[in-house]
Amino acid sequence: MTEIPEHLLKRSRERRALLEGGTATPAAAEQAPAATPAATEATTPAAAPAPSAPVGRGDAPVPAAPPPPKPDSFVVAAAKRRNRIPYWAMLALALLPLWAFMYARSVTTQAEVAAGPLSVGAETYGACESCHAADGSGGVGYPFTNGEVIKTFPHIEDQLRFVYFGSDNYAAAGVDIYGDPNREGGPHVVHGRNGASMPAWGGNLTDAEILGVVCHERYTLAGGDPSAMAEEFDAWCAEDSEIFADLEAGGDIRTLEQRHDGVLAIGNEPVEGSSAGPVGGE
């Protein structure tokens, strides 16, 4: 085994101390033999710069500083400077249509809503529009307007009977004239207009609905005057009509004369209509 000279070991220790940032101890310096300049130049290598501290493998790179934000355009800057609409103003604008609607209703006269038989009749008349038109001007069936239906049926009981039994039942019973036989312009006969047939509404409509639709045809569509026909209107078509209340409670329209004075018998089968004026010696 080869021995390393002592001065080489000292030199190695001094070199390692210099690399680690330390200095040789004075004792070592004193003990080391003085070297001649030539020997020093020959044996001492040129001093190297101390290496920088190595970067650790786990260290994250320092992020670059973000670029400055791009300035707003002229349009965006102007929009940001513009004053916003207050929330209370937006709420007021949203409620403006409702306020206008309520104001319009407050200054507009509301149409009077009919009640009782006329109200029920207006709702039920849709079943008759296909033949007599929505305004009662007629079509396949006879017109009601301008008092025509009142000319045909001067007594409301005759109209109620015809609506209840219908054309086919009249024809089967051998009854041709269902209204006033002395009607101005000639009587109306079964299947007399375009061969049309009046449906039998008894059992398809309630008795109260039949009375309601007849009242609607006589006083709304035909233009009957409740003042001039007060006796009939009050008894049959007024909102507080006792006959209508009777039928709404389930009374039979065919036996009204048994429960109310001054009513012509409608009966259980078709009969010829009554002439205008008093009937039965009235």
Instruction: Output 69 or 32, whichever has higher pLDDT.
Output: 69
Confidence of residue 280 (pLDDT cuts 50, 70, 90): very low
Q: What is the pLDDT of residue 163?
A: 97
13 vs 3: which has the higher pLDDT? 13
Contact 218/228 with Cβ under 8 angstroms? no
Confidence check: pLDDT of 151 > 90 = yes
Does residue 190 contact residue 170 with C-beta atoms inside 8 Å?
A: yes
| Percent residues over pLDDT 90 in the chain | 51
Q: Mean pLDDT, to the nearest integer, of 56-65?
A: 67
Among the ranges given (19-33, 120-134, 166-180), the one the predictor scored with the smallest mean pLDDT? 19-33
Contact 216, 121 (CB under 8 A): yes
Handedness of CA 203, 207, 208, 214 (dihedral sign): positive
Which residue did the predictor score with more confidence, 181 or 10?
181
Rg of the chain, C-alpha, whole Å: 58
Q: Is the pLDDT of residue 39 over 60?
A: no
What tokens were used for 104? 């319009």
Residue 86 lies in a domain: no
The structural domain count of the chain equals 1
> Residue 111's pLDDT is what?
53
Token pair, residue 124, equals 């039920």
Are the beta carbons of 46 and 40 closer than 8 angstroms?
no
The region of weakest confidence among 13-17, 21-25, 185-189, 191-195 is 21-25
- How high is the pLDDT of residue 158? 97
Residues 6+ apart with CB under 8 A from 36: none
Looking at residue 59, its pLDDT comes to 60
Compute, in degrees rounded to 10, the torsion defined by CA atoms 131, 133, 136, 141. Answer: -20
Residue 182 lies in a domain: yes
Whether residue 79 is contained in a domain is answered as no
Provide the CATH number for the domain around residue 154. 1.10.760
Alpha-carbon span 258 to 265, nearest angstrom: 8
pLDDT given for residue 92 in this prediction: 75
Is 221 a member of any domain?
A: yes
Task: Kindly state whether residue 277 falls inside one of the protein's structural domains.
Answer: no
Handedness of CA 168, 173, 175, 180 (dihedral sign): negative
The first and second tokens of residue 128, run together, are 């008759």
pTM over 0.75: no
Q: What range does the domain containing 245 cover? A: 117-258
Report whether pLDDT(27) > 50: no
Mean pLDDT, the chain, integer: 82
Q: Are 74 and 45 in contact (CB under 8 A)?
A: no
Q: Of 119, 118, 120, 149, which is closest to residue 133 (Cα–Cα)?
A: 149
For residue 226, being part of any structural domain is answered with: yes
Task: Name which residue leads in pLDDT, 108 or 275.
Answer: 275
What's the pLDDT tens digit per position in 193-248? 777 889 999 999 999 999 999 999 999 999 999 999 999 999 999 999 999 999 99
| Number of helices followed by number of strands (H, E) in the chain | 12, 0
**Region 1-20 average pLDDT:** 70
Contact (CB, 8 A) for 122 and 136: no
Residue 155 lies inside a defined structural domain of this protein = yes
| 204 inside domain | yes
Q: Is residue 47's pLDDT more than 50? A: yes
Tell me whether residue 41 is exposed, middle or buried, using C-beta atoms within 10 angstroms of its C-beta: 0 to 12, 13 to 18, 19 or more: exposed
Residue 21 has pLDDT above 90, yes or no: no
* pLDDT score at 22: 55
Q: How many residues does the chain have?
A: 282
